[in-house]
Amino acid sequence: MTSTPDTSPAESINASSQPSDIEIARAARKRPITEIAAKLSIPEDAVLPYGRDKAKIDRDFLAGLGAPKGKLVLVTAVTPTPAGEGKTTTTVGLGDGLAQLGHRVAICLREASLGPCFGMKGGAAGGGHAQVVPMEEMNLHFTGDFHAITSAHNLLSAMIDNHIHWGNALDIDVRRVTWRRVMDMNDRALRDVATGLGGPGNGFPRQTGFDITVASEIMAILCLATDLEDLQERLGRIIIGYTRDKTPVTARELKADGAMVVLLREAMQPNLVQTLENTPAFVHGGPFANIAHGCNSVAATRAALQLADIVVTEAGFGADLGAEKFFDIKCRKAGLSPDVAVLVATVRSLKMSGGVARTDLGTEDAEAVTRGCANLTRHLGNLRGFGLPVVVAINRFDGDTEAELAALRDHVEALGAEVHLCTHWADGGAGAQALAARVAELAASDEVNFTPLYPDDMGLFEKIETVARRIYGAEGVDADAKIRNQLAEWEAAGFGDLPVCMAKTQYSFSADPSLRGAPEGFRVPLREVRLSAGAGFVVAICGEIMTMPGLPRHPAAESIGLNAEGEVVGLF
């Protein structure tokens, strides 16, 4: 399982003579952010600007708007190639397409993480002519949300060690502190550290480590909290570790929840930016899609649904991971009911599912596309199983041949499903208008009968098994007694109602990235479970999880700088 958020711009593979993403983004004719807000009837005094092109929307204004009424469209994808299939680009293109058709639309995306930009090149929000801007700020400090999360997380960490230093009234076991520290930086040297060295004045030595900020439970909490009160409740429920007799100790017992919510107060307000075609886009929150649920914030999605008639959003990785968590964690817990799902497929991804090596994806192979479509078939069936109408969107790449595209289209139509060829990367919203028209029709038709995969009151292990069998196609889940006992203990402690957050490779339905397509006859090994009591889910780990990335041999940072015009170079 990779540790990088799946925001890499798939379209950078497109080798046309089109200008680069950053060139297109810099040439954008941005409108003042208050004008973008006005498209959603947000008055100027509810717009809190951050520089010229970014704003937060005032929480009091949003609180006064009443229940969300818009239709919610999820963009998800087949099992991806390492470069991604353009979910974000399709989300933006679809949003722009809907706007061109006259719909009052809003887009909801995740924020980018700062740290990874200095390792590999930064992730654009979309690509080509389907992007959200301002691209540079969104990849750097943006409106400071992630810095606020870093501060809140590390304040709790400092208060834990401070409590132990001053007498440890709560009897926290220094060997059982599970709460680590975070930094928004790729820094492998911080994965495993010993703190409190240097004598009694520096506290008690213990072994701990740092995660990257997007992996913080507080990131997941911020994205699931409905308001400041709920935020504080959730922060208070965070389990920071255990006493010597293994009783959980919470952030509330350390009296840290109030100060943390103060640090997060501004960050809880959704950020508004715009697409290249000046469509409003909420970009807010960015939890890891493996150890957390990988969607943008509930606060932003709710705001968008209050303000727009139709809202387009996305979830991380393929539909087995992102869409399942979107439905079973985010929608279930926030009371959201999605109306349509768009399944993004590319010729490249299906060729890879059909057994073609990554390095050979440039060679025409329509038969491999057909073979790989077994992957699409399973994803499509899964999405229909949630009770949603589904449309397949082919995100066209330059190298796709007519024969390959026909193979894909034929397969989808044979499944009785709708398919639209989209060219938003090259053409902007105009390239996704047919898709947009059909999505709008389906959203209005109320053909939806949304049902989460499993009920709240199912046992935790059974929930994990249900996802593995019904979504992944596994024969079962293997877990040793220690893990099963742990789950039973949490059920006894009142956490049995929580949904499960599956952590698994995004490159296969199974836990083995080499099993492509639609594998069968496999079992899922459950290696570890973690309780995120504040976020409100149990993480089921079925593979390696790296929560602090490292920098490569030649980090992008070495090439990043300002040119003579003061523009950033090397970031993209």
Minimum CB separation of residue 185 from a second copy in Å reads: 5
Q: Which is nearer to a second copy, 151 or 486 (CB)?
A: 151
In the complex with a second copy, which residue's Cβ is closer, 76 or 143? 143
Stretch that binds a second copy, among 244-252, 361-369, 434-442, 549-557 (CB under 8 A): 549-557
Stretch that binds a second copy, among 81-89, 359-367, 512-520, 548-556 (CB under 8 A): 548-556
3-state helix, strand, coil in the chain (%, to 5): 40, 20, 40
Q: Does 330 appear as a known binding residue? A: no
CB of 78 closer than 8 Å to CB of 85: yes
Among 198, 416, 494, 521, binds a second copy (CB under 8 A): 198
We find the least distance from the C-beta atom of residue 57 to a second copy, in angstroms, to be: 12
Q: From residue 24, how far is each of 114, 126, 132, 424, 425 by CA, in Å? A: 22, 11, 11, 13, 11
The distance of closest approach from Cβ of residue 209 to a second copy in the complex, given in angstroms and rounded to an integer, is 8
Q: In this chain, which of 99, 256, 531, 542 binds a second copy, going by CB under 8 A?
A: 256
83 annotated as a binding-site residue? yes
- Integer Cα distance of 347 and 365 in angstroms: 9
- Is 67 annotated to bind a ligand? Reply is no
Contact between 447 and a second copy by CB under 8 A: the answer reads: no
Give the binding-site size for a second copy (rule: CB under 8 A): 75
Write the interaction track for a second copy spanning residues 13-52; mark x where CB under 8 A is met and - where it is not: -----------------------------------xxxxx
Nearer to a second copy, 258 or 335 (CB): 258
Establish whether 69 is an annotated binding residue. no
Task: List binders of a second copy among 202-231 (CB under 8 A).
Answer: 202-203, 207, 209, 228
Residue type, 1: M
| Beta carbon of residue 16, minimum distance to a second copy (angstroms, whole number) | 28
Residues 263-322 that bind a second copy (CB under 8 A): 263, 265-266
SS (H, E, C) 527-564: CEEEEECCCCEEEEECCCCCCCCCCCCCCHHHHCEECC
Longest dimension (CA), the chain: 72
* Residue 431 annotated as part of some ligand binding site: no
Q: Find out whether 432 is annotated in a ligand binding site.
A: no
Closest contact distance (angstroms) between CB of 198 and a second copy is 3
* Residue closer to a second copy, measured from CB, 145 or 404: 145
User: What's the CA gap between 308 and 357, in Å, rounded?
Assistant: 43
SS3 state of residue 400: coil
Please calculate the CA angle 143-146-151 and round it to the nearest 5 degrees: 115
Active site positions, annotated? 87, 89, 110, 121, 289, 317, 397, 425
By CB under 8 A, is residue 550 in contact with a second copy? yes
The answer to whether 451 is annotated as binding is no
- By CB under 8 A, the residues from 162 to 191 that bind a second copy are 162, 165-167, 183-191
Closer to a second copy at the Cβ: 85 or 161?
Answer: 161
Number of H helices, E strands in the chain: 19, 26
One-character DSSP codes across 297-360:
-HHHHHHHHHH-SEEEEEBSSSIIIIIHHIIIIIIHHHT----EEEEEE-HHHHHHHTT--GGG
Q: Which is nearer to a second copy, 228 or 458 (CB)?
A: 228
Measured between alpha carbons, how far is 343 from 85 in angstroms, rounded to an integer?
A: 10
Residue 279: CB minimum distance to a second copy, A = 23
- Residues β-bridged to residue 282: 108, 272
Q: Shortest Cβ distance from residue 554 to a second copy (Å)?
A: 8
Distances (CA, A) of 238 to 157, 274, 320: 12, 35, 27
463 is in an annotated binding site: no
Helix 257-264 to helix 145-165 angle (10° resolution) is 160
Closest CA to 505 of 515, 492, 490, 497: 515
Write each residue from 97 to 116 as x if it is in contact with a second copy (CB under 8 A), else as -, in one continuous string.
-----------------x--
Residue 455 or 552 with smaller CB distance to a second copy: 552
Chosen residue from 258, 335, 362, 455 binding a second copy by CB under 8 A: 258
Listed residue (394, 538, 389) closest to 458, CA to CA: 538
Looking at residues 135 to 164 of the shown chain, list those that interact with a second copy (rule: CB under 8 A): 140-141, 144, 147-148, 150-151, 154-155, 157-159, 161-162
Q: Residue 33: enclosing H or E segment and its boundaries?
A: helix 33-39
Cβ closest to a second copy, residue 43 vs residue 51: 51
Q: Which residue numbers belong to the known binding site?
A: 81-88
Q: Which residue numbers belong to the known binding site for ATP?
A: 81-88
